[in-house]
Structure 1
């Protein structure tokens, strides 16, 4: 298979470019047709990856038909420790804390909610469920070749964007929904709470997106739900970018007021106590896993707790 960099994630656009050049400048049988055939045979093979071969990963054409049946988990493209029920609505991680990657069986529209319930929580691990979107079509994946983690492994190997959910989101019984809007902003919320902005760099143009979830760490089992069953899941469009306000609670302790901003990623959902604890412990943002270079107190929200 050919080796492609992440900038070449929309093969149909490249093919169209060659087709346009052929139609304008060349006649039938030109070398453009040969290039077109060669492009159609390319597969995604990440640069510098030394793990199992990912030959067979492919990107769905831009104009692919997108069915709208209820979401379920894809039956074949699953992590090594994942067990699905017969309806493919429940995903359970058998053992360890990793190899729990699962995908939706069909592409997800921008703005469409992916709703799930956390069924089981397992103590003894650090971190829990990760959610996001990918341009990889699970129908063309080999489950045994999936990496152990969606963050950072699958993100580094493919056009995938995911984030770790805060600890308070992934307690057993919680209903979590996540979605990406047309601007490429990834949001999540728990139960009927406020939307939380996870990241702002998802590429939503040029190819369909499948939902990806990693049943990781403390999250032992999840169940996909029908968003229509809960009005709070489908309501609330358009969603504004969440900003730190004087009434927003820290998403780690759910007690103190969020009054800090992490540099350079800019996430601002933490109190100063939790933010400094994370900075000293891992120096990685709990939302996007970017390296933290500095913790700043939001001037308008300075409190006794953060001063």
Structure 2
């Protein structure tokens, strides 16, 4: 078993299908596509202990980037083949996992990201020397928590820095986990970031968390995706991330649907049925 204070590394076997680690298990790189980039710490993380990583490679052309959080899943007991494509929302739905999306454009190549959970169950992150971002405030405590990261979208590769620092600097006397930060600091609750115009609360795409979910997959009918992400999934795996059914077409979820066959041909619902 790993000692509680041992330098953090990535778990050697519980990896997303596209992840490759270096020999020291400090660098995780996604080989292709934009998903299947889930990685875990090799040991549980203490409350207040900061997980520090550096973004090594930023890949343009995708929507959304690094996801991070904590889980009660012991990666030593997680078969790699059972990992879903996304930590948000797939792994959260399937297991006791609490993760969040860093605001778009927040972490670029060379940036250092630190994240931690307090004894009050608040998940914070900090990029370089910037303000602390409150990502979630609902992480249940009282059981071991492993760090989980998703090398997703624009984030192509990350490196664990192995810093083992505990406690929150600048905390209130008598409460080592209380966190103070400017009231104007952007914060994200429930693993979501503020939607772009056109996406009302509860209607954001579950992949990028930016655009409105305005398409559905045929034949399964899931309507959780914006058109940009839907077409990327269709061209990449042709399997619905929600149910893993084969996708035969992408349809608009609002108004009179138009279906895409993958060859750029749009047909009406009447033509399809």
Q: Write the mapping of 1:292-303 to structure 2, written as runs, cut at 5 A.
A: none
Structure-1 separation of matches of 2:19 and 2:65: 15
The answer to whether 1:212 aligns with 2:151 is no
The answer to whether 1:195 aligns with 2:132 is yes
* One of 86, 91, 101 as aligned partner of 1:149: 86
Matched with 2:199 is: 279
Number of aligned residue pairs: 206
Matched with 1:28 is: none
Q: Unaligned 5+ residue runs, structure 1?
A: 1-63, 252-261, 293-307
Three-state SS of the structure 1 residue aligned to 2:120 is: coil
Offset from partner CA, 1:105-133 (integer Å, 9 cap, x none): 00000100000000000011100000000
Matched with 2:242 is: none
Structure-1 separation of matches of 2:63 and 2:167: 28
Matched with 2:161 is: 225
The answer to whether 1:108 aligns with 2:42 is no
TM-score with structure 1 length normalisation?
0.59
Q: 1:89 to 1:276 in 2, by over 3 A?
A: closer
Q: Give the structure with the larger helix fraction.
A: 1
Structure-2 separation of matches of 1:215 and 1:268: 17
Structural RMSD (CA): 3.4
Structure-2 separation of matches of 1:281 and 1:236: 33
Structure-1 separation of matches of 2:148 and 2:58: 19
Structure-2 separation of matches of 1:140 and 1:111: 25
* One of 6, 11, 19 as aligned partner of 1:82: 19
Q: Write the mapping of 1:239-278 to structure 2, written as runs, cut at 5 A.
A: 239-240=178-179, 242=181, 244-245=183-184, 248=185, 277=197
Structure-1 separation of matches of 2:39 and 2:196: 33
Structure-2 separation of matches of 1:281 and 1:269: 10
TM-score with structure 2 length normalisation?
0.66
Q: Write the mapping of 1:20-169 to structure 2, written as runs, cut at 5 A.
A: 67-169=4-106
The answer to whether 1:183 aligns with 2:120 is yes
Structure-2 separation of matches of 1:178 and 1:79: 21
